[in-house]
Amino acid sequence: MTGTLVNTGAVILGGMLGSLLGARFPAGVQRIVMQIIGIFTLAMGVKMFLEAGNVLVVLGALIAGGITGELLGLEARLESLGERLKKGCDRVPFLSRGDFTRGFVTAGLVFCVGPMTVVGSMQDGLSGDPSLLVVKSVLDFFAGMAFAAGMGMGVTFAAVIVLLVQGGLTLGAETLAGVLSNSMIADMTATGGVILLGLGLLLLDLAKVRAANMLPGLLFAPALSALAAAL
């Protein structure tokens, strides 16, 4: 769990520093920061999608995952959690600065859908080597600063999502290692890339994409990838 704890701390520190800096920025600077974040998220999504082993697997995973997410109301549940956290922070103006819920949901998705999350957590759990998650922590620290400068302290609280997701993957690493092949991870990565593309469009106010409702696609992707390989 060392890598996950380091990553969680990096998100908290980056989010706090970004919030402190963002509070000093004029509205125009905050707006351009948000636009940069949106464009960068789109670029990350494209890069991840290009790793797809089978684009039909990715499409099937997203459709199945999107339907599942809509039926479960995942986005609404995440937003509700964000709102509850915000209410607890309302007594301290600094903690509730910016679009708290948007920052919480957005940062949580960005920090947890990439390939380094899965591979790094498994590496940490299987061999006790946190090096990949330490590298991810450095990236998340700077990303957290940028996100928090535009959206506020909700980004810092996304560390809770990082802790739960990566901690769960680390603890289940031995089981996952016997199940996930390289092609499955590639298709999971590509599926996460499309989710990030939707998130980027949302951040740029180009489309109201419910990206969080697509998250179950990350679970469908390896199953469909295995099915495609068997056929």
* pLDDT band (50, 70, 90) for residue 94: low
Please report whether residue 210 resides in a domain: yes
* pLDDT band (50, 70, 90) for residue 92: low
Give the C-alpha separation, 153 to 225, whole Å.
38
Please report whether residue 112 resides in a domain: yes
Q: Where in the sequence is the domain holding 141, given as residue range(s)?
A: 2-226
Please report whether residue 153 resides in a domain: yes
Please report whether residue 137 resides in a domain: yes
Each residue's pLDDT tens digit, 14-27: 988 888 887 677 77
Total count of domains within the chain: 1
Give the C-alpha separation, 157 to 104, whole Å.
6
Please report whether residue 39 resides in a domain: yes
Each residue's pLDDT tens digit, 159-201: 998 999 888 888 887 677 777 888 888 898 899 889 989 988 9
User: In terms of C-beta distances under 8 Å and separation of at least 24 residues, what long-range contacts does 75-79 make, across chains too?
Assistant: 75/105, 75/210, 75/211, 75/212, 75/213, 78/104, 78/105, 78/108, 78/212, 79/105
Please report whether residue 231 resides in a domain: no
Identify the CA nearest to 114 among candidates 189, 39, 169, 60: 189
pLDDT surpassing 90 at residue 72: yes
